[in-house]
Amino acid sequence: MELNFERIQQKEQHANLFNLGLLHEKVDFLIKELSSIGNKLGQVDQKPAQEENDVIQVKEAAKLIGRSESTVYIKASKKELPCWNDGGRLWFSRKDLTAWLLANKGQDKIENPKSKMKSLRTKYAKK
């Protein structure tokens, strides 16, 4: 009888070890799932922050497109730049300005007054 009892105990210990191994596997799986969920949540949290930084004012818009602030004001008043006016301030979307830059690549050449005058002189000079 005692022999059967020892065998039963050994089988129970073996089953417990087996269950413990399964438990470790389940815990590892849960840890991986939780970390992937955490990564996804981190990505979701980053998107609104990037969207908040998408709205810029004239100074940053001028730096972004490589022009002076006065040129940005002129182009905005002529509706050449994508922007909106809110209470007397001009606001720009960084994405819209980047798209505008790519669309107008090479078309937006601004001559300064001296070079413009020089080109007019050479054009209309007596030959």
Q: What would the pLDDT profile of 73-117 be if each residue is shown by its tens digit?
A: 999 999 889 999 888 889 999 999 999 988 887 665 555 666 777
**1 and 49 share one domain:** yes
Residue 40's pLDDT is what? Answer: 78
For range 37-62, the mean pLDDT: 75
CA 41, chain centre distance (Å): 15
77 inside domain? yes
Same domain flag for 24 and 66: no
| Domain residue limits at 17 | 1-53
Would 76 be classed as within a structural domain?
yes
* 112 in any annotated domain: no
The reported pLDDT for the residue numbered 92 is 93
- What is the enclosing helix (H) or strand (E) of 20? helix 2-52
Contacts for 111 with CB less than 8 Å, ≥ 6 apart: 119
Average confidence score pLDDT of the chain: 79
pTM metric for this prediction: 0.46
**46 pLDDT more than 70:** no
Please list the helix, strand and coil fractions of the chain in percent, rounded to the nearest 5, in that order.
70, 10, 20
**Angle 94-103/58-65 helices, nearest 10 degrees?**
30
**Do residues 44 and 61 share a domain?**
no
Number of domains present in the structure of the chain: 2
